[in-house]
Amino acid sequence: MNKTLYDKVWDAHVVGQRSDGTILYIDQHLLHEVTSPQAFEGLRAAGRSPWRLGANLATPDHNVPTQNRAAGIQGIDDPIAREQVMTLDRNCNDFGIRQFDITDRRQGIVHVIGPEQGATLPGTTVVCGDSHTSTHGAFAALALGIGTSEVEHVLATQCLVQAKSQNMRVEVKGGLQQGVYAKDVVLAIIRMLGTGGATGHAIEYTGSAVQSLSMEGRMTVCNMSIEAGARAGLVAFDDVTLGYLKGRPFAPSGDLLEKAEQYWRGLISDPDAEFDRSIELDADKLNPQVSWGTNPELVVDIDDVVPAPDIFDDPAKEETATRALKYMGLEPGTPITELRLDRVFIGSCTNSRIEDLRVAADVVRGRKVSSDLKSAIVVPGSGLVKAEAEQEGLDQIFSDAGFDWRDPGCSMCLAMNADRLYPEERAASTSNRNFEGRQGHLGRTHLVSPATAAASAIAGHLADPREFM
């Protein structure tokens, strides 16, 4: 055999071939309020019902407020956002779709609750109307972001037409040093590949540094695969995967778990598997990373300076860098740690899990948020993450330091709710995208790890977390 992990999962789900691609069976379909309304309306218009109800799980996340949640839907001030959440309620009720609604303690970001519930399983295909569905590939699953028309197609048929990607291996050797985390790894990978470097590929992340990551860390890496242009990101199954899944509500248990594990153990690339492209990254030499521009490729070490556009050989990239400097209000040669901040955001489907919050809390414990900041907020990825953090006393650590402790949701990751940047405000953010206007009109975003975000909140400027350890 010479199959990659991607090949194995793909081949196991092929239903048939069409002139426009391969028909894949879809095991798990995650839904939220933004990309599903038109899909449900399409079902109604065609007189169709979902093909397999149990394969669907829904939750509102993009539009939900992170404050005043006791008011439920009526606490959503924006009428469009409120209507979208109400529409998800109605659609899930009408079609019998399981939903963790805004009042459910299990509600949260869709890419947090899926793994948290054990709905994301090794060797499965997972889809969602959201680009960062690649997160779930951390479980040796094939996880794909899809469009609204495809959401309807999956609801109606439990299948999806796809073109097979090429295989890419990203091997991260060595081990991570103190103050360096999964977010730094993936930012360094995108810095190396570029935002289009993995276009047409599915990435398998390998190497000792990846194997040493927790499932939370692996999800962070896979989450941002799409930012390098990849269709999906995957990590092979191992004991870490199994340990995370045991006892999850939707995961198999007892004899069924034993049988599942026998299959899951084969979810690794064969020793002689061939990849279309391979790259390597030395984790031993990796420093905390920070984005300075308007895409996740424009990244430097925290102790570096804002680069000049002429570092790029490609004229198009030089032009992009020039535009980015203007948008971000930066001058080449400025030390990164001299960039003062207006806001700090810890959260998103990239970095809102319990491990992320623990890391940030360790940095801020006994310290105070800079008085220069307009706000510093911590947004857990789900109600269950929030409850666990509160049980551990993390909420008190953040509150004592001057952070706002919020309810779960996508929050400041994107400007679709009340948490956003205002024009020319600068933020350190643990989210995954930094393009123009992503966090708010004319907002300036620097992508960082939770540790770097926490350190920056204390300093009032972008800061090296190693100085706070």
Last residue of a domain, one of 256, 285, 314: 285
Number of domains present in the structure of the chain: 3
Does 349 have pLDDT greater than 90? yes
Does 1 have pLDDT greater than 80? no
Residues 92 and 65 in one domain: yes
Residues 296 and 382 in one domain: yes
Asked whether the beta carbons of 172 and 205 are under 8 A apart, the reply is yes
Q: How far apart are the first and last CA of the chain?
A: 47
Asked whether the beta carbons of 457 and 403 are under 8 A apart, the reply is yes
- Nearest Cα residue to 217 out of 287, 106, 135: 135
What pLDDT is stored for residue 293 in this prediction? 98
What pLDDT is stored for residue 197 in this prediction? 96
Cα–Cα distance for residue pair 178/423, rounded to 1 Å: 35
Residues 360 and 382 in one domain: yes
Q: Both tokens of residue 202?
A: 């599915």
Residues 118 and 184 in one domain: no
pLDDT tens track for 117-131: 999 999 999 999 999
Q: Note the Cα 64 to chain centre separation in Å.
A: 17
What pLDDT is stored for residue 407 in this prediction? 97
User: Taking residues 144-170, what's their average pLDDT?
Assistant: 97
Residues 146 and 182 in one domain: no
Cα–Cα distance for residue pair 279/258, rounded to 1 Å: 35
What pLDDT is stored for residue 344 in this prediction? 98
What pLDDT is stored for residue 161 in this prediction? 97
Phi first, then psi: what are they for 31, rounded to 5°? -130, 150
Alpha-carbon distances of 352 from 19, 161, 256, 357, rounded to whole Å: 41, 32, 31, 7
The rounded mean pLDDT for the chain is 97
pLDDT tens track for 370-428: 999 999 999 999 999 999 999 999 999 999 999 999 999 999 999 999 999 999 999 99
Helices and strands per DSSP (H, E), number in the chain:
15, 19
- Nearest Cα residue to 373 out of 249, 463, 255, 265: 463
Residues 12 and 153 in one domain: yes
Q: Both tokens of residue 458?
A: 């204390």
Residues 102 and 179 in one domain: no
What pLDDT is stored for residue 367 in this prediction? 98
Cα–Cα distance for residue pair 140/123, rounded to 1 Å: 6
Last residue of a domain, one of 143, 162, 181: 162
Q: What is the CATH number of the domain that holds 212?
A: 3.40.1060.10
Asked whether the beta carbons of 451 and 181 are under 8 A apart, the reply is yes
Residues 302 and 314 in one domain: yes
Residues 217 and 327 in one domain: no
Residues 326 and 275 in one domain: no
Last residue of a domain, one of 258, 285, 312: 285
Q: What is the CATH number of the domain that holds 316?
A: 3.30.499.10
- Strand order through the sheet with 404-405: 404-405, 375-378, 343-346, 426-429, 444-447
Confidence at 359, pLDDT banded by 50, 70, 90: very high
pLDDT tens track for 218-267: 999 999 999 999 999 999 999 999 999 999 999 999 999 999 999 999 99
Q: Both tokens of residue 408?
A: 């779960």
Q: What percent of the chain has pLDDT over 70?
A: 100
Structural domain of residue 232, as residue ranges?
166-285
Residues 299 and 187 in one domain: no
Residues 214 and 136 in one domain: no
User: Taking residues 67-86, what's their average pLDDT?
Assistant: 93
